[in-house]
């Protein structure tokens, strides 16, 4: 299974915010530059994370992003499932629909595999993801222009 770029960016953003010390504000632009992605993409990710209650954003001087307590203790499985949506791995009902869909065993097997993927992530929290050695690496990131 492959995650969308959006989910990948969201997970990296919450990991970066999880190691912020709170003394210096972390901006959307700074996270985008550290992850080498366009600011517009990261802004969309941050907006979605705000709607989920995972990230808090404050505007103006001294503003910035902060991971909420809910975000820090959120299940990575829940967050990934929520960001990815409930779409199946394969598009059996796409246009045109697969002619095997009425009697296909592959569709069910792929759904089980997808569910197992999310269940494997369920016990992990965002806080778990930034334990050493990951946390120090996140803190050492320097801004790079987006590719």
Instruction: Quick: pLDDT tens for 18-72.
Output: 998 666 778 999 999 999 999 999 999 999 999 999 999 988 777 899 999 999 9
What is the token pair recorded at 70? 């809910």
Q: What is the mean pLDDT of residues 118-134?
A: 91
Distance of CA 21 to the CA centre of its chain: 20
- The structure's pTM equals 0.86
Q: Which helix (H) or strand (E) holds 3?
A: none
- Bridge partners (DSSP) listed for residue 56: 66
């Amino acid at each position: 299974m492959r995650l969308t770029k959006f989910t990948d960016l969201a997970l990296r953003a919450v990991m970066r915010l999880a190691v912020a010390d709170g003394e210096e504000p972390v901006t959307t632009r700074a996270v985008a530059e550290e992850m080498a992605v366009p600011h517009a993409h990261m802004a969309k990710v941050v907006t979605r994370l705000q709607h989920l209650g995972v990230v808090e954003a404050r505007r103006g001087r001294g503003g910035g992003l902060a991971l909420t307590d809910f975000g820090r203790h959120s299940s990575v499985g829940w967050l990934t499932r929520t960001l990815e949506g409930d779409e199946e791995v394969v598009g059996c009902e796409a246009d045109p629909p697969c002619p095997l869909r009425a009697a296909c065993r592959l569709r069910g097997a792929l759904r089980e595999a997808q569910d197992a993927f999310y269940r494997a992530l369920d016990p992990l929290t965002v806080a778990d993801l930034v334990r050493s050695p990951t946390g120090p690496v996140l803190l050492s990131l320097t801004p790079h222009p987006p590719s």
